[in-house]
Amino acid sequence: MGELKNDRFLRALLREPVDYTPVWMMRQAGRYLPEYRELRSKAGDFLSLCKNKEFACEVTIQPLERFPLDAAILFSDILTIPDAMGLGLYFETGEGPRFKKIVRTEADVDALPIVKTTSDLDYVLNAVTTIRSELNGRVPLIGFSGSPWTLATYMVEGGSSKDFRHVKAMMYDKPEVMHQLLEKLTLSVIDYLNEQIKAGAQAVQIFDTWGGNLSHAAYQTFSLQYMKKIVDGLIREHDGRKVPVIMFTKGGGQWLPQMADAGADALGLDWTTDIGVARGLVGDKVALQGNMDPSVLYASPARIREEVESILSAYGSGSGHVFNLGHGIHQFVDPEHAKAFVEAVHELSPKYHQS
């Protein structure tokens, strides 16, 4: 699949020395790029884009053609697992994801199969193999999954939610049913990520989008515990290289010490946490990824550079930092501003890596 020409991203995740801070953006292959919008309209809809390996490959590589990014991320969706469990994922314009079947009862949970990726989600694995081949060692490829709690949230609510009333009612009222659902999702995610690694993903990220909406105790019991089980079950070395694992809980800044003990190589940070404070809390246990507010990309390139400098300076000297946004890039961002962001990280970070 080609020797890796730029492995700074993998080295930074493992806290090995690098000459500059590597950078990628969550949702870097997406609607802010006109070439993405064109391909999506050609595909017909979002899921058709995900399920066609040539399209998924083209979309994954589009941002690398524009910006000197240090990693590519598989183009897919976090809801592929519930879809493979038979819930019938579809997208309403302006409404986000929806499911034809909703999981609300013990019988609903009992009926769910554990996903077998090679048969149920082979289109994702085909995309991984195609992308790895096309990248030809240019940069590493990131695979990913939603966390069990985040997937459960969508499955029980039936889509996006503002108040999480159904999923939290189940969690508080019928914890044994919720644990059964999370257990099935955990086994499915372990299989899914391991198969992505075997197909060619060189690092993986667990997206816990909704963990930050839980209470302190509920986060440990219903989100972190299951992410730890996933990390424990993952292939950590493949093709003669370590496969780093990134755990990202949006809104999880208050649980960094507990997350640092969960076994991942790196923790993603949203923009509400100071990265210098986070580094002080986790010490040498894990690398950190993040954490510029995506909305900074609406500001001028000069202001973007200032923000990049302040985050680099807050993290301080040495390796163990992968620069990213604190969440996905917004669809209305000017691609030229994204370019200014990536270039600023490369230009401003070498001074923090001089030994």
* Binding-site residue positions for substrate: 27-31, 77, 154, 209, 327
The residue from 40, 132, 279, 305 that is catalytic is 40
Pair 104, 169: CB distance under 8 Å: no
Closest CA to 208 of 226, 235, 232, 181: 226
The residue from 7, 70, 77, 270 that is catalytic is 77
**Cα–Cα distance for residue pair 66/47, rounded to 1 Å:** 24
The residue from 20, 32, 36, 154 that is catalytic is 154
Q: What ranges make up the beta strands (E) of 57-134?
A: 72-73, 89-92, 96-99
Burial status of residue 5 (CB atoms within 10 A of its CB: 0-12, 13-18, 19 or more): exposed
Any idea what DSSP says for residue 79? T
**Phi, psi for 121 (deg, rounded to 5):** -130, 40
Number of H helices, E strands in the chain: 17, 11
Is 27 a residue of the active site? yes
- 3-state SS, residue 188: helix
**One-letter amino acid of 253:** G
Is 31 a residue of the active site? yes
Q: Which residues pair with 96 in a beta bridge?
A: 92
**Cα–Cα distance for residue pair 261/269, rounded to 1 Å:** 16
Closest CA to 270 of 226, 209, 199: 209
Q: Which two tokens stand for residue 219?
A: 């986060």
Is 66 a residue of the active site? no
Is 37 a residue of the active site? no
Cα three-residue angle 264-320-29, rounded to 5 degrees: 75
Please identify every residue annotated as catalytic.
Answer: 27, 31, 40, 77, 154
